[in-house]
């Protein structure tokens, strides 16, 4: 697959050849679903906690005698049927994370990249650049020349701290390194901007 490479001003410069097994493969919707679900599960804190009837503070004495009052039988005020009593089958702290097979995760990433690469308007390869000033307005000027202002994911060839600093105040921009992609972030990004160096590394990283 051949894709155009754009300058930071949005002008066409040249073409680059992308690995078809990474950017033009058959899309596996099942692997995408499982990868996104796995990432969301791993993000869960799992600190929700409720008290059972054994943990609620209160007396163990019967509130009234068993018979003769005309009211229903009651054993103790910590019963779940009472206001302020224990919770039946309530949540307890737990770990929601789980390990996903490496091959399935790789398949999901390649499927998402292939899905995004089908649309030339929302998927663009840009020449390698950096922002020496680290200023947000410089990053915004580059993105305005390449995208339509919607949620954008920028795939970097390395962990460029100046680029990340320039874009950290932009609410609709996310940065990912080529070797640490997020299925959730990539899938829900309306625009995907891939640095030319990152595209070449993706060819090797997922095409091997």
Looking at residue 160, its pLDDT comes to 85
**Which CATH number do you get for residue 161?**
3.40.1370.10
Q: Does 181 map to a domain?
A: yes
Q: Does 197 map to a domain?
A: yes
Looking at residue 89, its pLDDT comes to 95
Number of domains in the chain: 1
Looking at residue 208, its pLDDT comes to 64
pTM for this predicted structure: 0.85
Q: Does 183 map to a domain?
A: yes
* Mean pLDDT split into 10-residue runs, the chain, 208 residues: 90 91 93 97 96 92 94 93 94 96 95 92 92 92 88 91 92 93 95 94 86
Looking at residue 176, its pLDDT comes to 94
| Enclosing domain of residue 156 | 2-26+109-207
Strands 123-126 and 173-177: unpaired
Q: List C-alpha distances in Å: 26 to 69, 86, 113.
A: 73, 52, 11
């Amino acid at each position: 697959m051949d894709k155009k490479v754009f300058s930071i001003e949005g002008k066409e410069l040249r073409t680059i050849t992308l690995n078809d097994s990474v950017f033009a493969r058959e899309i596996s919707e099942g692997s995408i679903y499982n990868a996104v679900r796995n990432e969301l599960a791993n993000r869960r804190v799992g600190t929700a906690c409720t008290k059972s009837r054994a943990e609620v503070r209160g007396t163990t004495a019967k509130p009234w005698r068993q018979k003769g009052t005309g009211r229903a039988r009651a054993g103790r005020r910590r019963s779940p049927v009472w206001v302020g009593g224990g919770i039946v089958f309530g949540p307890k702290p737990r770990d929601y994370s789980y390990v996903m097979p490496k091959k399935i995760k790789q398949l999901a990433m390649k499927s998402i990249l292939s899905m995004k690469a089908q649309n030339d308007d929302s998927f663009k390869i840009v020449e390698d650049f950096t922002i020496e000033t680290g200023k947000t307005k410089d990053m915004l000027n580059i993105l305005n020349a390449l995208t339509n202002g919607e949620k954008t994911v920028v795939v970097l060839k390395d962990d460029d701290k100046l680029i990340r600093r320039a874009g950290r105040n932009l609410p609709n921009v996310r940065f990912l390194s080529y070797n640490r992609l997020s299925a959730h972030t990539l899938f829900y990004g309306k625009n995907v901007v891939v640095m030319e160096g990152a595209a070449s590394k993706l060819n090797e990283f997922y095409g091997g």
